[in-house]
Amino acid sequence: MTENLGAEDRTPELVPLNAVFATDFVQILVPVTTADTMREVAAAVAHHVEGKRVRALPYDKVVIYHGERLPADMTVAAAGIRPLDHIAVEYDVPEES
Amino acid sequence: MALLKREEWQGFVRDVDWSYRYVDDEAVFPEWHSGTGKVPRAAWQAWEESYKVSYPEYVATQREKEAAAYAVKAALQRSSAFESLNEGWKSATKMHFGGIALSEYAAVLAELKMARFGLNGGWRNMAVFGQLDELRHATITTFFGHEFIAKDPQYDWTQKAFQTNDWVAISLRNLFDAMMSSANVVDLALQLPLTFETGFTNLQFVGLAADALASGDVNFANMISSIQTDEARHSQQGGPTLEILVEHDPARAQWVVDKTFWASARAFAALTGPSMDYYTPLEHRKQSYREFMEEWIIDQFVHTIEGYGLKKPWYWDEFMRGLDTWHHGLHMGLWYWRPTLWWRPMAAVSKDERAWLAQKYPTWEQVYGDKWDVIIDNVNAGNMEATLPETLPWLCSTCQLPACIPTQSRNGTWRVRDWQLSYDGRIYHFCTNACRQIFWKDRDSVNHETLVDRFLAGQIQPMDVGGILGYMGLTPDVMGDDPDYPAWTKDYAGRPAEGLATAARP
């Protein structure tokens, strides 16, 4: 039954990701859910690194998946991010800075 | 009756082959163990080691070595030498004991396999001495480590580490199972004696012996030097095997040597790199890890394989670039995930130590300095929580070490890249392009699950840091911590620090 539901209507499912945050030195395991937005995904990754190994910067963060910057409000399900996929999270630093 | 001269009897005692009447050759030397492959069976008759030894000579020499090593140990046992050792150096020894003691025992089994399935009588004879060597190495390493248990329970991991599911131990088992346990004897002779022992053990056993002496650890230097004297003899099983394989199947020879050199280099970057460039006190460091690698491994390895008609491995540029990054990232990973270790990793990034690192590795400050600065500022702010892990590092599906290798972009920035592969319905991640390539070519034989795989499969319960530490066998009395925070943070105390994680409210 549930396979007929749209991604946004299903119970959130766990999506463990391979993630790297900005200039951090290592890839880490970060669990998110299909319902999480990219804003929440970026925060979940940053939680393990920002201010701990990478100095926090006053900029928004953006999730990069398969080389594409994903909109902050897009969910994991809508982005088609699957368990064990790799994402990078970067600061969205303005060009002139 | 006059005794025969050595040269008159040596030939027929070292090469005992005979014709079978009741079974065929394949029954005695099955392909899956003996692995002759494209090499005609008769070609192995040419196998000959360059330095020959008889059993009485072997026993007499080994007896002297053992007596000397244990005499030094007995003398030092009565001194206070151990108490005066630096904690960083002690960590190098704990790492060595836990990582090596039972690896030596795995090597006993590998030598026994060559002693049984080697394709020439002389080879099998040499492997018998080899297994006696490895048995000595396993026992001497275990015994020397055991002595310190009463002084420090982390030394109990001399015997324990290899049998736990600690991620370092899993990585080493993965390496040695591929190198020794699952390989046929032809591949094994190229992997263990030729690539690993001729090359890499020099790094740990000669290079580290120099650091041990400088650090005042005569006992440890004595032990590993005694072990190293055996390597030159039994490691010569590799040369004659390679010579024959190159003649009949050079592509196989190249592949086996290439992948083993890579796997060994990854392991030694984790094992020897931090010991040399961080744990050994600055004033006692003889050379940097990179310098040791260049002097002891790279020149010799390239000279050796080119001498046999092989080429430099396909990944050579990637490997050489890694000399400036691999072990620095692994050191940071070992330190950050320090509760998962059976030693006390010294961060060793005081101003003087960083000046040394920057001199030896010109990109060190750019690539690693910023991360250590944030860690230092957190320690100085009393925000220790921010310096401890809440998740796992991603472990490479080939080397099983943290995927922590940055490369430089055209715009000058450094980023950790992901090398991934979709295979058999799932996604695998690798630390490097070469680890990915090795996995792909050996995909049917690489079967160890990484700690991350195990965690995601629900094998580790509860699924939190406590559950992970329990799964790895770490207890509070053993769990690693930095032995001396002020030693490397006090230089920076009082400096302004922004962008730190917010300390949890009490």
pLDDT (0 to 100) of residue B201: 79
Contact across the interface for A29 and B414, Cβ inside 8 Å: no
In a domain, A62, yes or no: yes
pLDDT, residue A97, reads 55
Residue entry with tokens 């004297």: B229
Check pLDDT > 50 for residue B399.
yes
d(Cα B164, Cα B146) in Å, to the nearest integer? 17
Provide the mean pLDDT of chain B: 93
Which of A16, A26, A86 lies at the smallest CB-CB distance from B393?
A: A26
Residue with tokens 């244990």: B70
Name every chain B residue with its beta carbon within 8 A of the beta carbon of A50.
501
**Which chain B residue's Cα is nearest to A47?**
B501
Rounded to 10 degrees, the C-alpha dihedral A35/A39/A45/A47 comes to: -110
pLDDT of residue A1: 52
Burial letters B330-366, b for 16+ CB under 10 A, else e: bbbbbbbbbbbbbbbbbbbbbeebbebbeebbeebeb
Whether the CB-CB separation of A25 and B364 falls below 8 Å is answered with: no
* pTM exceeds 0.90, yes or no: yes
Distance to chain A for B498, nearest Cα, Å: 7
Residue tagged 């969205």 (tokens): A92
- pLDDT, tens digit, 9 for 90 and up, residues A58-97: 999 999 999 999 999 999 999 999 999 999 999 999 886 5
* Element holding B502 (H helix, E strand): none
Percent of chain B with pLDDT over 90: 76
Question: Three-state SS for A15?
Answer: strand
| Residue B449, pLDDT score | 93
* CA A7 to each of CA A16, A23, B146: distance values in angstroms, whole numbers, following the listed order: 17, 32, 58
Q: Which residue has the higher pLDDT, B200 or B102?
A: B102
Q: Give the span between the Cα atoms of B421 and B502, in whole angstroms.
A: 37
Element (DSSP H or E) covering residue B159: helix B157-160
| Tokens encoding B499 | 């962008």
In a domain, A97, yes or no: no
Judged against a pLDDT cut of 50, whether residue B505 lies above it is answered with no
What is the residue whose two structure tokens read 């020397």? B144
Residue A55 maps to a domain: yes
Say if CB B492 and CB B379 are below 8 A apart: no
The pLDDT of B81-94, averaged and rounded, is 89
Average pLDDT over residues B338-365: 98
When scoring B324, B335, B367, B374 by the number of chain A Cβ atoms within 10 A, the one with the most, hence best to mutate, is B374
Phi/psi at B253 (nearest 5 deg)?
-60, -45
Greater pLDDT, B11 or B43: B43
pLDDT in tens, B268-290: 999 999 999 999 999 999 899 99
The answer to whether A21 contacts chain B (CB < 8 Å) is no
Q: How many CB atoms lie within 10 A of CB B70?
A: 16
Q: How far apart are CA B138 and CA B375, in angstroms?
A: 38
pLDDT over 70 at B229, yes or no: yes
- Contact call for B371 and A24, based on CB within 8 A: yes
Q: How far apart are CA B190 and CA B193, in angstroms?
A: 6
Contact residues on chain A for B393, CB-CB shorter than 8 A: 26-29
Contact A53 B375 (CB under 8 A): yes
Residues of the domain holding A15 = 2-91
Q: Rounded to a whole number, what is the distance in angstroms from the first to the last CA of chain A?
A: 50
Chain A nearest-CA distance from B208, in A, is 27
Q: Alpha-carbon distance B177 to B107, whole Å?
A: 10
Domains of chain B: 85-492 (1.10.620.20)
Query: With contact defined as beta carbons under 8 Å apart, do A12 and A34 qualify?
Result: yes
pLDDT the model gives residue A39: 98
Average pLDDT in the B130-141 region? 95
> So what's the pLDDT on residue B503?
63
Most distant pair of Cα atoms in chain A: their distance: 51
Most B-contacting residue of A23, A25, A50, A89 (CB-CB within 10 A), to test interface: A25
Distance CA B300, CA B202 (A): 11
Task: Express each pLDDT in B37-75 by its tens digit.
Answer: 999 999 999 999 888 888 889 999 999 999 999 998 888
The candidate with the shortest Cα–Cα distance to B193, out of B141, B256, B246, B144, is B256
Token pair of B316, please? 């050579």
Q: List B428's β-bridge partners, or say none.
A: B421
Domain assignment present for residue A8? The answer is yes
Cis geometry, peptide bond prior to residue B281 (ω within 30 degrees of 0): no
Among B281, B374, B404, B388, smallest CA distance to B335 is for B388
A5 touches B: beta carbon within 8 Å:
no
Residues B165-188: what's their mean pLDDT? Answer: 95
Instruction: Please report whether residue A23 resides in a domain.
Output: yes
**Does B456 reach chain A within 8 Å, measured CB to CB?**
yes
Distance CA B330, CA A39 (A): 30
The enclosing domain of A44 has a CATH number of 3.10.20.270
pLDDT digits 0-9 by tens, B240-273: 999 999 999 999 999 999 999 999 999 999 999 9
Looking at the DSSP assignment, which residues form a beta bridge with residue B420?
Answer: B429
Cα–Cα distance for residue pair B340/B479, rounded to 1 Å: 6
A60 in a domain, yes or no?
A: yes
Q: B325 or B83: which carries more pLDDT confidence?
A: B325
Other C-beta atoms lying within 10 Å of the C-beta of residue B412: 7
pLDDT number for residue B198: 81
d(CA B393, CA B372): 17
Least confident piece of the model among B55-64, B104-113, B203-212: B203-212
Residue A96 lies in a domain: no
What pLDDT does B506 receive?
42
Q: What is the mean pLDDT of residues B117-144?
A: 95
Q: Smallest Cα–Cα separation from B224: which of B109, B345, B97, B51?
A: B97
pLDDT in tens, B306-335: 999 999 999 999 999 999 999 999 999 999
CB half-sphere exposure, A27, CA atoms < 13 A? 31
With respect to residue A54, please indicate whether it lies within any of the assigned structural domains: yes
Q: Token pair for residue B331? A: 């050191």
Residue B31, pLDDT score: 97
User: How far apart, in Å, do the first and last CA atoms of chain B sit?
Assistant: 90
Query: The tokens of B301 are what?
Result: 């390895």
How far apart, in whole angstroms, are the C-alpha atoms of residue B432 and residue B382?
A: 36
Ramachandran region of residue B426, left (φ > 0), alpha (ψ -120 to 50) or beta?
A: beta
Task: Please give the radius of gyration of chain B, using alpha carbons only, rounded to the nearest integer.
Answer: 24
Distances (CA, A) of B4 to B52, B61, B283, B464: 17, 21, 56, 70
The rounded distance, in Å, linking the Cα atoms of B476 and B70 is: 33
Which residues of B are less than 8 Å from A66 in CB distance?
A: none
pLDDT band, residue B84 (cuts 50/70/90)? confident
Inter-chain contact A54–B420, Cβ cutoff 8 Å? no
Inter-chain residue contact A25 with B498, CB threshold 8 Å: no
ipTM above 0.85, yes or no: yes
What is the tens place of the pLDDT at every residue in B429-470? 999 999 999 999 998 776 789 999 999 999 999 999 999 999
Count of structural domains within chain A: 1
**pLDDT, position B145:** 93
Say yes or no: B465 contacts chain A, CB-CB below 8 A: no
Least confident of B202-216, B238-252, B287-301, B406-420: B202-216
A97 close contact with B: CB closer than 8 A: no
Q: Does B336 touch chain A (CB under 8 A)?
A: yes
Q: Rounding to the nearest 10 degrees, give the CA dihedral for residues B301, B304, B306, B312.
A: -20
Would you tell me the crossing angle of helices B121-146 and B6-14 to the nearest 10 degrees? 90
| pLDDT given for residue A3 in this prediction | 59
